[in-house]
């Protein structure tokens, strides 16, 4: 499948690497047609990867991943073009982290809304699915790295078919079906994003991003 990765940070390139390794063709989008990190990446994956602008990326992808810094995601998605995002699944991996007052970051949208909802309301014809934002990029594509994959990941979105599509992608990454919890509609992204302050504190204490949460109960 043709997949558009919007973003050239560690999340975008980690997802791109995994998607190529399992047979997809990837387009990495950026503000620039020739982002040095994207160019370096495609030199290592010359057959199944190309790069260009956010707009070209959105046109290319049948499915898109938002791997853009949260606070500028709307700005970047506008560059991608609402018409190129329409009727497509957009997997929103972003977190609305605001570093303007230094560390630790605060959340720029919170409590009664979320970045995923902001994206959904700005792009009503797009099927936004919040996923994978609650963990370090290395774990997103390699759940077996921790406890043999015995831990949980979450989905939130308004479109059931879109969530099934994303679930299939997560399974292809190695996530076990019972560990992919559908929390409900896009408003459930609030909790997923508000987990970030706790994630950052655990990261600070643990000094590694290779951890996750597991839901237990009767
Ligand atoms: N790092 C992780 O392990 C992790 C885990 C979970 C979730 N996340 C979330 O995933 C997203 C990506 O994280 P990341 O660490 O890979 O990368 P990042 O540094 O947060 O974001 C990189 C992307 O943001 C774009 N960007 C920056 N300023 C922009 C602006 N003013 N207008 C438009 N685009 C702009 C960059 O565009 P150019 O390509 O043009 O430079 C680049 O593609 C973030 O929202 C982050 O919170 C990260």
Euclidean distance between CA atoms 92 and 115, whole angstroms: 9
Q: What is the mean pLDDT of the chain?
A: 98
User: If 0-12 CB within 10 Å is exposed, 13-18 middle and 19+ buried, where does residue 69 land?
Assistant: middle
| Distance from residue 182's CA to the centre of ligand 1 (Å) | 25
Q: What is the pLDDT of residues 2-48, one digit of tens each?
A: 999 999 999 999 999 999 999 999 999 999 999 999 999 999 999 99
The overall longest dimension of the chain from CA atoms, in Å, is 52
The CATH number of domain 2-206 is 3.40.50.970: no
Average pLDDT (170-181) is: 98
**pTM (2 decimals)?**
0.98
**Percent over 90 (pLDDT), the chain:** 99
Top mutation candidate among 10, 69, 109 for ligand 1, by most atoms within 8 Å of CB = 69
> Which DSSP symbol is given to 51?
E
Euclidean distance between CA atoms 182 and 18, whole angstroms: 23
Euclidean distance between CA atoms 111 and 176, whole angstroms: 30
Phi then psi for 173, rounded to 5 degrees?
Answer: -80, -15
List the chain domain ranges.
2-206
> Which DSSP symbol is given to 11?
H
């Amino acid at each position: 499948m043709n997949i558009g990765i919007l973003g050239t940070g560690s999340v975008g390139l980690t997802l791109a690497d995994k998607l190529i390794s399992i047979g997809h063709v990837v387009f990495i989008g950026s503000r620039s047609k020739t982002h040095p990190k994207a160019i370096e990446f495609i030199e290592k994956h010359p057959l199944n990867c190309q790069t260009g602008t956010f707009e070209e990326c959105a046109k290319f992808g049948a499915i898109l991943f938002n791997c853009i810094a949260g606070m500028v995601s709307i700005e970047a998605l506008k560059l991608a073009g609402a018409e190129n995002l329409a009727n497509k699944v957009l997997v929103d991996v972003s977190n609305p982290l605001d570093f303007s007052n230094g560390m630790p970051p605060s959340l720029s949208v919170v409590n009664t809304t979320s970045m995923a909802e902001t994206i959904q309301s700005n792009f009503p014809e797009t099927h936004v699915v919040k996923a994978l934002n609650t963990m370090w990029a290395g774990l997103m594509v390699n759940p077996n790295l921790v406890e043999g994959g015995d831990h949980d990941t979450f989905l939130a979105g308004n479109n059931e078919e879109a969530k099934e599509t994303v679930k299939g992608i997560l399974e292809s990454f190695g996530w076990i079906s019972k560990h992919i919890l559908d929390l409900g509609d896009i408003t459930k992204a609030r909790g997923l994003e508000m987990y970030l302050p706790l994630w950052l504190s655990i990261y600070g204490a643990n000094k590694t991003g290779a951890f996750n949460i597991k839901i237990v109960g009767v």
